[in-house]
Structure 1
């Protein structure tokens, strides 16, 4: 069994999605099944990788950062969040009363603490606020997790 943490940017460059998808799918093929993905199912990288885990025959464990987290979504990302959440075999609700950077930071740390491998769809730049991808990567590295960075060379957010 491999427990996979998922973190990454919400805004993915359209021209990078195909390469990101191929690289993540390649990582998933290397890992020991069964696969269990841990994700907040945020827009962008989280939703993309969560679907790839399901496509690979894995299961999802959703971590919900706060009450009313679903109100941070709209349009197609909201529908994708709801679909992936309904596909999750387990959920963990964190005790934050509302969406906040502190809640997102706690969710990223929780994901890093649960996983064997962290897949980070990350451009390598510092977080733009507390709880960003860089924070989750730093926490996973501090815990000695196997961190796999996926970002196409030359792509920019």
Structure 2
């Protein structure tokens, strides 16, 4: 069973999280069970939806956190309880060797995620990156190394 990584948009428009969760569940279902293992950076949006769907299908996941200050500086106050819960449920948590959360740390965490997975799910609208480490950059890096990428962007999905 492949180790599945995820990358995707953080800010999703109203109603899009439900569409993305259903799409993730549909694509993860063939792998359901204790052999299902995911890799995520646990960012809000696609990453956390992925972790929840992995758990719902009796799988496990590991988290690659971009920097030591990630929770304080990058996790919005209203998302901290969800982040903390999902971090606690991870079977493995690794922090990248960065003190500060910035674009370099985000891309480094995504590259480490790519190193650990055999298949990447990209919750991506197909648009190019605006900043280094955005979803399009991660997809490009995965494709450059020959990693299979499944792009998931359900009908009606929109970025926030």
TM range (shorter): over 0.9
Aligned to 1:137: 139
Partner of 2:128 in structure 1?
Answer: 126
1:14 alignment partner in structure 2: 14
Q: Which runs of 4+ in 1 moved over 4 A?
A: none
- 1:89 equivalent in structure 2: 91
CA distance in 2, matches of 1:63, 1:6: 11
CA RMSD in angstroms, aligned pairs only: 1.4
Give the count of matched residue pairs. 157
- Residue segments in structure 1 that go unaligned for 5+ positions in a row: none
1:154 Cα deviation after fit? 4.9
What's the counterpart of residue 41 of structure 1? 42
- Asked whether the 8 Å contact 2:32–2:57 carries over to 1, the reply is no
What TM-score does the superposition give when structure 2 sets the normalisation length? 0.91
8 Å CA contact retained: 1:118, 1:145: yes
CA contact (8 A) 2:17 2:45 kept: no
TM-score (norm 1): 0.93
Q: Do 1:40 and 1:46's aligned partners in 2 also have CA atoms closer than 8 Å?
A: yes
For the residues of structure 2 that align with 1:74 and 1:20, how far apart are their CA atoms?
Answer: 20
The Cα offsets for residues 33-65 of structure 1, whole Å up to 9 and x where unpaired, read as: 511111110011111111101111111101011
Q: Which runs of 5+ in 2 are unaligned?
A: none
The structure carrying a bigger strand percent of its residues is 1
